[in-house]
Structure 1
Amino acid sequence: MNNQEILSHIDHTLLKPFSTWEQIAEICNDAIENKTASVCIPPSFVKPVKEAYGDKLTICTVIGFPLGYNTTATKVFETKEAVKEGAAEIDMVINIGALKDGKYDFVQNEIAEIKKAVGDNILKVIVETCFLTEEEKIKICELVTAAGADFIKTSTGFGTAGATREDIRLFKEHIGPNVKMKAAGGVKTKEDLVDFLELGCERIGTSSAVSMLKGGEAQGY
């Protein structure tokens, strides 16, 4: 797998709370130069990036991030605003506490409501695997599938751990045929990138793919 094939699956990510416009512009320029799948940026930067870059790149942003316990109405509003301002892909965080409480209808309905707000754009559902039991991971695969989401995503990168190969194998067994997988958090080497893609991930979220593939080190998320 060559570097360009890898980069075509990368959501080039910068979600640090102290991110500046200069840093956001740098990853956007990197994304255009390296033909990454998207840039994944905070919601407040969606409109300025769209105004500055137009259709030169695909904009992804995050909703209910990073903790997931915003109300459904808040998440739906955030989503509609992000799409209106230029986001083509939405990465939402589930209500993790609701899942652990067994409120499965709530979790599924929330995902479905956000998918409705996304419309024809892409919805990725962040389930934060580091906080879930194996049983809960299997259940959220079922809920994400039933809600009509496009992707299941392992992690925010802000939890206690990121993507693991074991979780991707588990997802692959339990998601529906129309659900793709995204690994995020803890992807530190070119070997990691290749491994996750070969395991079946369609996307990988990382801030470091470009530098890793140029022989540098991972820088964070």
Structure 2
Amino acid sequence: MAALIDHAILKPELTDAEVDADLDLAARWGIFSVCVRPSDIPRSVARLAGTPVATGTVIGFPHGSTSTAAKVAEARRALDDGAAELDMVQHVGRLRSGDVAAVEDDIAAVVAVAEGRVVKVILETAFLTDDEVVAASKAAERAGASFVKTSTGFAGGGATVHHLRLMRGAVSPAVRIKASGGVRGLDTLLEMRAIGVDRFGTSATDVILSDVQRLVETGATSGETDASSY
């Protein structure tokens, strides 16, 4: 279960001490990665050295409306600082304007500078119609993205099963799905995992994995779902 989680450390008000505490939590659980603010990448890489936890960051966050050149420069600096994965926000306004080609080009430019590293495209599904969710997912795949991701967690809406099903159906098996925003409990994670979600962005890592640990230790199940099967 820990290998499914990207622990989010993105709130703008976090102090250095609070960031360090979250990094230590990630190391303690041995999760897949943390997703930190761009300015915290060097701190994260240094503090997590010797652990299996990767450092990821965000690009064009949280609105996605910076220029493509700015996103490329931000991505290049993040990679130079040691980021292993990039979660970029698509240009939501362009997508809603129907300019899918511009959205695709924007993503492709970041994918190119990533040079094979994982790029996740945040759709910000709370702002989109179903048709726009599908169009954005397909554009991300054409642009070479590794993942499509639901949300920043800063737009007043998070991941829903409905949107995740749309995303999973819109892209090929080569593109993975990340649910982010509102994933705060084990039951929610298991429900989303069952429909094909590959990674979860959450700040509730300790709560979720503590629940998993209790289930393992007691041999119990969460609702009707056996956590051991995931």
TM-score by length of 2: 0.88
The partner residue of 2:84 within 80, 84, 88 is: 88
**In structure 2, what residue type is equivalent to 1:12?**
H
| Structure 1 segment 65-144 matched on structure 2, within 5 A | 65-144=61-140
5+ residue gaps, structure 2, are 212-230
**In structure 1, what residue type is equivalent to 2:13?**
F
- For CA contacts below 8 A with separation 6 or more, give which structure has more relative contact order: 1
Match of 2:171 in 1: 175
Counterpart contact for 2:185–2:207, Cα < 8 Å? no
Counterpart contact for 2:76–2:114, Cα < 8 Å? yes
Give the fraction of aligned pairs with identical amino acids, expressed as a percent: 37
- Any idea what the Cα deviations from partners look like across 1:121-168, whole Å, max 9, x if unmatched? 110000000000011111111101100100000000001210000111
Verify: 1:21 aligned to 2:16, yes or no: yes
Match of 1:218 in 2: none
The partner residue of 2:40 within 24, 38, 45 is: 45
5+ residue gaps, structure 1, are 1-5, 216-221
Please give the alpha-carbon distance, in whole angstroms, between the structure 2 residues aligned to 1:48 and 1:142.
35
The Cα of 1:74 is off from its aligned counterpart by 0.4
Verify: 1:61 aligned to 2:57, yes or no: yes
The Cα of 1:195 is off from its aligned counterpart by 1.1
Give the match's secondary structure for 1:204.
strand
Structure 1 pair 110–134 and aligned structure 2 pair: CA distance change class (3 A): same
Please give the alpha-carbon distance, in whole angstroms, between the structure 1 residues aligned to 2:151 and 2:48.
28
Verify: 1:191 aligned to 2:187, yes or no: yes
Q: Which has the larger radius of gyration?
A: 2
The aligned length equals 211
Counterpart contact for 2:184–2:203, Cα < 8 Å? no
TM-score by length of 1: 0.92
